[in-house]
Amino acid sequence: MFNYLIKIEYDGTKFVGWQYQKNGPSIQEKIERAIKKILNCKKKIKINGAGRTDKGVHAFCQYANFKTRKEIIDKKKFISSLNFFLKRDLISILEIKRKNIDFHSRYSAKERIYEYFIINREGSLSIFKNKAWHIKQKLNLNLLKKGANILEGKHDFSTFRSSSCGARSPIKNMKSVNVTKKGEKIFLIFKSQSFLQNQVRSMVGCLKYLSTNKWDLKKFKQSFLSRNRKNCAPPAPACGLYLKKINY
């Protein structure tokens, strides 16, 4: 048995998310079908994603591993064939590596990095439509950074946890939350070993309330420390979220 790790980039706009679902096309399903076809396998190929991105979320660097009895000799040809079948879906396979049989793309990951992209201007989006959160109200960058600092460290993130989240514990260690601004573009970078379902989008939604003065810092802290989902602001839209990097 051989275990392979693939590096993936995708536009998540038209997908129900990474994970296979009955209510629409998923990235996982598209890649599994392509691998099965190329390897000419009779049995279903199952790939394990490192991050279960939600509907509409994009990825610069998603990883997934799969096991097969067939050794892939020509990796360059294999990637080329995969990309031929996936290019219409805006899914790209960037790399493939053989790994130890016990390696698992999800459970072996040491750090995940998500980026949230905001465009803060009056004019509507054309080039970045479905690729960023368009916010017309002027954001207070100073408050945005102060709120981001509060989120750093080991905390109970229940306020930002989806009701359907399957994680065993709401406690996560947020290694860093960095905010940078380049003209009208604002980027929020979140680093942690793992995240709760909807956590990043929920945090960004609360940071938006803070930076538009709908909340003050006291209200932001109260919402966070309440550990109650009912006190969370509406989550930021999926279109601005990117799985940026995964470290092993």
Write down the residue that tokens 């020509």 correspond to: 74
Q: What is the mean pLDDT of the chain?
A: 96
pLDDT in tens, 77-115: 999 999 999 999 999 999 999 999 999 999 999 999 999
- Please give the model's pTM, rounded to 2 decimal places: 0.95
In a domain, 107, yes or no: no
For residues 51-79, average pLDDT: 96
Q: Do 174 and 86 lie in a common domain?
A: no
Q: How confident is the model at residue 21 (pLDDT cuts 50, 70, 90)?
A: confident
- Look at residue 42 in the predicted model and tell me its pLDDT: 82
In a domain, 156, yes or no: yes
Both structure tokens of 98 = 């053989």
Q: Do 165 and 213 lie in a common domain?
A: yes
Domain boundary among 42, 76, 99: 99
- Return the amino acid letter for 47: I
CATH of the domain at 16: 3.30.70.580
Q: What is the H or E stretch that residue 111 is in?
A: strand 111-120
For residues 183-199, average pLDDT: 97
DSSP 8-state code for residue 246: E
In a domain, 105, yes or no: no
Residue 198, pLDDT above cutoff 90 = yes
Q: Do 95 and 142 lie in a common domain?
A: no
Residue 95 belongs to domain spanning: 2-99
Catalytic annotation on 54?
yes
For residues 36-55, average pLDDT: 92
CATH of the domain at 192: 3.30.70.660
Q: Do 19 and 94 lie in a common domain?
A: yes
- Look at residue 122 in the predicted model and tell me its pLDDT: 97
Q: Do 147 and 86 lie in a common domain?
A: no
Whole-number Å distance between alpha carbons of 57 and 5? 21
- Look at residue 8 in the predicted model and tell me its pLDDT: 98
The CA-atom distances, in angstroms, between 12 and each of 87, 133, 184 are: 13, 14, 23
Whole-number Å distance between alpha carbons of 86 and 22? 20
Residue 124, pLDDT above cutoff 90 = yes
Q: Do 162 and 138 lie in a common domain?
A: yes
- Look at residue 22 in the predicted model and tell me its pLDDT: 84
Among 54, 89, 156, 216, the active-site one is 54
Residue 60, pLDDT above cutoff 90 = yes
For residues 62-75, average pLDDT: 96
In a domain, 192, yes or no: yes
Three-state DSSP class for 187? strand
Both structure tokens of 211 = 């930076």
Q: Do 140 and 242 lie in a common domain?
A: yes
Whole-number Å distance between alpha carbons of 148 and 137? 19
Domains identified in the chain, total number = 2
- Look at residue 43 in the predicted model and tell me its pLDDT: 85
